[in-house]
């Protein structure tokens, strides 16, 4: 199979996700709100969720009131616990790996990944690549 044919097959396979992406761009608030609420609901009983009273969050405004803007350093204690093998800290989902960033602020950062996060990145990147093509 030549690379042009492989490229065309890949684009064809990614097109449904790209079309879904374009559809949700028409009203991102309505598209993102159910996802946001699911994340809050699924993670209410995590250590982070308990500390930030996820059980009282029913809207974005509630989230803003309960979860202050934070820097990476504020998350280091949580991430260190996850890296040490502790579950149910930041997310109910199993952490499948970590990515070490290059450190834009002079130090590298450890970013935990779940299968769901990886899938979201893949969907976003595939839509972006279809748009570029």
As for how many domains the chain has, the answer is 1
pLDDT computed for residue 104 by the predictor: 66
3 vs 50, which has greater pLDDT? 50
In the predicted model, what is the mean pLDDT of residues 112-123? 93
pLDDT computed for residue 107 by the predictor: 78
93 neighbors 85 (Cβ within 8 angstroms): no
Residue range(s) defining the domain that contains residue 90: 3-132
* pLDDT tens per residue, range 48-93: 999 999 999 999 999 999 999 999 889 999 999 999 999 999 999 9
pLDDT at 132 over 90: no
SS (H, E, C) the chain: CCHHHHHHHHHHHHHHHHHHHHHHHCCHHHHHHHHHHHHHHHCCCCHHHHHCCHHHCCCHHHHHHHCCCCCHHHHHHHHHHHHCCCCCCCCCCCEEEEEECCCCCCCCCEEEEEHHHHHHHHHHHHHHHHHHC
d(CA 42, CA 108): 29
pLDDT computed for residue 7 by the predictor: 85
* pLDDT tens per residue, range 15-51: 999 999 999 999 999 999 999 999 999 999 999 999 9
Q: What is the pTM of this model?
A: 0.83
Cα 63 to chain centroid, rounded = 16
């Amino acid at each position: 199979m030549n690379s042009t044919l492989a490229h065309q097959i890949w684009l064809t396979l990614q097109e449904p996700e790209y079309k879904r992406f374009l559809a949700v761009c028409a009203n991102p608030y309505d598209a993102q709100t159910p996802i946001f609420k699911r994340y809050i609901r699924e993670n209410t009983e995590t250590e982070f969720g308990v500390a930030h009273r996820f059980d009282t969050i029913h809207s974005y405004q509630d989230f803003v009131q309960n979860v202050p803007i934070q820097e990476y350093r504020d998350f280091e204690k949580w991430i260190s616990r996850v890296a040490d093998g502790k579950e149910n800290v930041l997310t109910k989902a199993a952490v499948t790996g970590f990515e070490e960033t290059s450190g834009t602020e002079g130090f590298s950062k450890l970013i935990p990944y779940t299968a769901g996060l990886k899938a979201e990145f893949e969907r976003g990147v595939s839509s972006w690549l279809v748009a570029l093509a």
